[in-house]
Chain A
Amino acid sequence: MKSISLGRYYAADSVIHRLDPRGKIVLTILFIVSTFLAKNVISFALLILFVAALSLLSRVPLSLILRSLRGVTVVIIFAALINLFLTNIDQATFLVEFGEWNGRMYGITVEGLIRSGCMVLRIICLIIGTTLLLTYTMTPIELTDGISNLLHPLMKIHIPVDLFAMMMSIALRFIPTLSEDAERIMNAQKSRGTNFSDGGLIRKARALIPILIPLFVSSFKRGEELAVAMECRCYHSGDDRTRMEVLKWHVRDTLFFLLLIALGAGIVLINIFFAWIPYFTVL
């Protein structure tokens, strides 16, 4: 419905959905590290294979997965262009030469192409992998549970982890609601003749004020009502809260964990052993 994929859980029953949220959070961190470790065409292939397997196993429709990339299109294009034109390697193989400047040749090189391609792949894998693990297959409540479970030891030094966890899950829960609100307000203002698209940056920013203020007011109102509703349902902080779904570590969680460690280790090993192949090493 919205282009913001953050906080949009995709309800389905898949292996990925059933993984332990604590595991998934740690897996995500491992995965992010792995994507940055990949410096080699073979390791990228491994990464893509992993992301493809993850997508298939999660049963999230492809269109939804691709939608998660929409928000980072600009970043992807920017990274691709920078790497394409500014790759600085001695004895590069030029495909197109633009000319010399300050004693250096500028143009499109084979290395630049490979590097920018790899950068694009890295960002795509990163975004798809993390949104699949963290948002599409994990409800905010699970995410909260996972994080508060992982951070639970901090309660010992009187950090109210449970309160932060609840705040975070509510923030996530309200993203779709508030973005619908924003759209409604925007339409209402448009119908009264507010112009959001013309003018310079400052004018555009000023045009946002009639959206932001009603949005603020409505979110405060929603927040207040929610607080009352939560209180009526006996919400209170403390240790005596129980959960319907108690987190259980299964064999599949261990398997996935091992798989990701294998992925990371594989990428590191490939970086070391295939470094001699021309064009293969990227950074």
Chain B
Amino acid sequence: MSETPLLRVENLKFKYQNTGGKGSDREVLHGLSFTVERGEYVAMLGHNGSGKSTLAKLCMMILDPTEGHIFVDGVDIADPELTDAQVLAVRKKVGMVFQNPDNQMVATMAEEEVAFGPENLGIPSAEIRQRVDEALKAVGMSEYAKKEPSRLSGGQKQRIAIAGILAMHPDCIFFDESTSMLDPQGRKDVMEIIDRLNREDGVTIIHITHDMNEAARAKRVMVLHEGNFVMDGTPEEVFAQPEKLDACRLTVPQCTQVMYRLKALGFEIGDRVTTPEDCAEAIRSLLGSGEVRHG
């Protein structure tokens, strides 16, 4: 029995209709095809205007594709004859955390904010309460349940937003540059939650970002450039081609660069070095092995 992939995109094209009257419609996606299996942790990289946010909006049915198909758990969401109930069923499976935490908050209390999604799904009150408590615990915000989101830091707001999605029990969560407006600590907290959701709860993660260090934490990196996927592979495979990334106006993470330079100088370094911690570890072991002399 073969399992249906969670997300299957076939020859997806999208044009922004030019309403100004001048110029022609701008095509931002030129026929994308890819699949994301259940439990994957994918980072979608691309510089500004590469079409990555458009892709997420298409998957959330905020925009309709000009051409092509998107299958979420076997259901074609590009089908214009989808019933409202089917639309809700798809949106329940796929959640999305946005860039600006302020603009996605509906309620003035953290727990009511988290409850908003389940309330829309028509879940019984007692179960909502249980889901909200669980979701807040999962993002480490239980003690802030009664706080106003506007009094929380950016990172904390974003964690509440994640809890709001988690409470809907989605199979897959899109993060649309969810860390880009946060301070370093907020970023770190949110990234740890994203990693943990995938590792421990098996939630499929699609992290849209232009931060290479964050992308390096995923298990699969897809690089979007001018509306086409130009690279798709493990972070090691992708980051091993810095020239190709350069052409997409992306810069390889500093630690990876250091590792490649060291390798070029003839040092023995494993391929699985993508995070600064790994990098420090690798250098430490190099120093310890006596291959490098101090001074």
Residues of A at under 8 Å CB distance from B? 7, 9, 11, 13, 139-141, 169-170, 172-173, 176-177, 221-222, 225-226, 228-236, 240-246
- Kindly state the separation between the CA atoms of A49 and B92 in the bound complex, as whole angstroms: 51
Which residues on the B side are within 8 Å of A169 (C-beta)?
A: 106-107
Which residues on the B side are within 8 Å of A244 (C-beta)?
A: 111-112, 115, 118-119, 125, 128-129, 132
- A139 and B112 in contact, given A233-B120, A244-B128 (Cβ under 8 angstroms): yes
Determine whether B183 belongs to the interface, using a CB cutoff of 8 Å to chain A: no
Determine whether B98 belongs to the interface, using a CB cutoff of 8 Å to chain A: yes
Determine whether B82 belongs to the interface, using a CB cutoff of 8 Å to chain A: no
Docked-complex contact B120 and A234, CB < 8 angstroms: yes
Which residues on the B side are within 8 Å of A236 (C-beta)?
A: 84, 88, 120
Determine whether B96 belongs to the interface, using a CB cutoff of 8 Å to chain A: yes
Which residues on the A side are within 8 Å of B100 (C-beta)?
A: 225
Docked-complex contact A139 and B109, CB < 8 angstroms: yes
Within the complex, the shortest CB–CB distance from A153 to chain B, in Å, comes to 22
Give the number of chain B interface residues (Cβ < 8 Å): 42
Q: At the interface, is chain B mostly helix, strand, loop or mixed? A: helix
- Kindly state the separation between the CA atoms of A7 and B109 in the bound complex, as whole angstroms: 12
Within the complex, the shortest CB–CB distance from B139 to chain A, in Å, comes to 16
Docked-complex contact A9 and B165, CB < 8 angstroms: no
Within the complex, the shortest CB–CB distance from A80 to chain B, in Å, comes to 35
Find the residue from A222, A228, A242 having the highest chain B CB count within 10 A.
Answer: A242
Docked-complex contact A229 and B125, CB < 8 angstroms: no
Docked-complex contact B104 and A226, CB < 8 angstroms: yes
One of B36-44, B145-153, B232-240 at the interface = B145-153
Docked-complex contact B108 and A234, CB < 8 angstroms: no
Which residues on the B side are within 8 Å of A235 (C-beta)?
A: 116, 120
Determine whether B91 belongs to the interface, using a CB cutoff of 8 Å to chain A: yes
- Kindly state the separation between the CA atoms of A241 and B88 in the bound complex, as whole angstroms: 12
The digit string for B48-66, where 1 denotes a CB below 8 A from any CB of A, is: 0000000001001010000
User: Which B93-132 residues have C-beta < 8 A from chain A?
Assistant: 95-96, 98, 100, 102-109, 111-112, 115-125, 128-129, 132
- Kindly state the separation between the CA atoms of A176 and B157 in the bound complex, as whole angstroms: 15
Determine whether B164 belongs to the interface, using a CB cutoff of 8 Å to chain A: yes
Within 8 Å by CB of B102, from A9, A141, A222, A228, lies A222
Docked-complex contact B146 and A11, CB < 8 angstroms: yes
- Kindly state the separation between the CA atoms of A232 and B120 in the bound complex, as whole angstroms: 11
Docked-complex contact A225 and B104, CB < 8 angstroms: yes
- Kindly state the separation between the CA atoms of A225 and B129 in the bound complex, as whole angstroms: 27
Which residues on the A side are within 8 Å of B168 (C-beta)?
A: 233-234
Docked-complex contact B109 and A11, CB < 8 angstroms: yes
Docked-complex contact A141 and B112, CB < 8 angstroms: yes
- Kindly state the separation between the CA atoms of A206 and B160 in the bound complex, as whole angstroms: 40
- Kindly state the separation between the CA atoms of A232 and B63 in the bound complex, as whole angstroms: 12
Docked-complex contact A141 and B108, CB < 8 angstroms: yes
